[in-house]
Amino acid sequence: MPSVPPMSQVSQAINISELRALAKRRLPRMVFDYIDGGAEDEVTLRQSVDRFADYGWQWNSLVDSSQIDTSTTVLGERIAQPFFISPTAASRLFHPRKGELAVAAAAQKAGIAYSVSTLGSQTLEDIAAVAPDVPKFVQIYVWKDRGIVREFMARAKAAGYTGCILTVDATVAGLRERDPRNGFSIPPSINVKTATQAMGRPGYLFDMFTSAPIGPANFESVDTGGRDVMAVINELFDQTMCWKDLEWFVKEWGGPFAVKGLSTAADARRAVDSGASAVWVSNHGGRQIDTSVPVIDLLPEIRAAVGAGVEIIADGGVRRGAHVLKLLARGANSVALGRAYLYGLAAGGEAGVTRALDILATDVRRGLSLLGVPKVADLDGTLLRLCRP
């Protein structure tokens, strides 16, 4: 189909930006904008990427870099790279045939962890089957019905998921203005705008109509009343949750547990005091609160608050391996990827995700060699300087 970039183009992409361009060619505008867009004026979305350029490198000279170690630990599990797959909702929107299964298979090849979203479009069990040898984590939101959460956790444990991630920055959906402008919803509804856009991408349209309907695969028994995913967030998720409730989640899971979406040192410390084994500093990809502080600026104060022994995960704006390394140097133990791999997924399915991960892995290895830091675990802020406040 003409809207599908040849696999040779995907394999020859030299950076994430080129995969983004290929994804834009393949997807209808409404679907591409769902990946690409952010909240309100998209200030956070832009600054999350641009802020990396304000930090400049120094480097160690005359260091033996013949043996580079890029491995790290996330939620108690060893992974081959200092980055892993962040949970993203409804991945079959971007690759209707496989979605999350394509991403998990690529993670398996790369030897990195995979995190499944509560609102994933493939089941926990099917995802686990294609990535049996890498760590798998389950992400949860706070449903008003705790029985739903308890059952979901039990299924995840039975399927071999070893870590749990509670997202706390999405009690309501952010104002993502591209979506209503495009007439977009999850699952997609048919109207004049969406039909016109889809007709311009016949390859994607063919995949959509020849694949199973897209929806919250792990909650088929939950009555969503025909609402789209954003409405489900606003109507079925619990906006009354507080710190006492976090203790219930930690105890219910009974294993490695991360709290995702924290932005203050006080909240990070409180999460640890409530039983979390890791704090995840994130602005939700710029999709919730606009004009939020870039994550790279927050990391040192959060590290100081929780101490050296607490695991910190970071995400936000990562498009290059240098971005991964800068987040690590500022205090993170590992970095979660979102749009970077979704662009690859949309561009070429599993092969596209693999290409995205390969690009970043090569960047990281090259960067460590040039910095004179053979082990990623030894990277710290001494080689990083803020050039533009």
Q: What is the DSSP string of 342-380?
A: HHHHHHHHHHHHHHHHHHHHHHHHHHHHHHT-SBGGG--
297, 327 Cβ separation under 8 angstroms: no
Confidence of residue 194 (pLDDT cuts 50, 70, 90): low
127, 114 Cβ separation under 8 angstroms: yes
- C-alpha torsion angle, residues 302, 310, 312, 144 (rounded to 10): -90
Active site residues: 284
Q: Where are the domains of the chain?
A: 7-371
Is the CATH code 3.20.20.70 the one for domain 7-371? yes
**Residue 3: is its pLDDT beyond 50?**
no
3 state SS of 47: helix
Higher pLDDT: 218 or 6? It is 218
211, 97 Cβ separation under 8 angstroms: yes
Each residue of 97-132: pLDDT tens digit? 999 999 999 999 999 999 999 989 999 999 999 999
Q: Distance between CA atoms of 258 and 272, rounded to whole angstroms?
A: 9
In 3D space, the residue among 348, 357, 346 whose CA is nearest the CA of residue 93 turns out to be 346
Q: How many CA within 13 A on the CB side of residue 68?
A: 19
Q: How many CA within 13 A on the CB side of residue 127?
A: 33
Q: Distance between CA atoms of 44 and 50, rounded to whole angstroms?
A: 10
**Residue 192: is its pLDDT beyond 90?**
no
Q: Distance between CA atoms of 284 and 14, rounded to whole angstroms?
A: 26
In 3D space, the residue among 370, 281, 264, 375 whose CA is nearest the CA of residue 331 turns out to be 281
Local structure of residue 3 (DSSP, 8 states): T
Q: Distance between CA atoms of 120 and 225, rounded to whole angstroms?
A: 18
What global pTM score does this model have?
A: 0.93
123, 99 Cβ separation under 8 angstroms: no
In 3D space, the residue among 61, 35, 11, 48 whose CA is nearest the CA of residue 293 turns out to be 48
Token pair of 54 as six digits: 């304000």
Q: Distance between CA atoms of 18 and 204, rounded to whole angstroms?
A: 19
Each residue of 314-364: pLDDT tens digit? 999 999 999 999 999 999 999 999 999 999 999 999 999 999 999 999 999
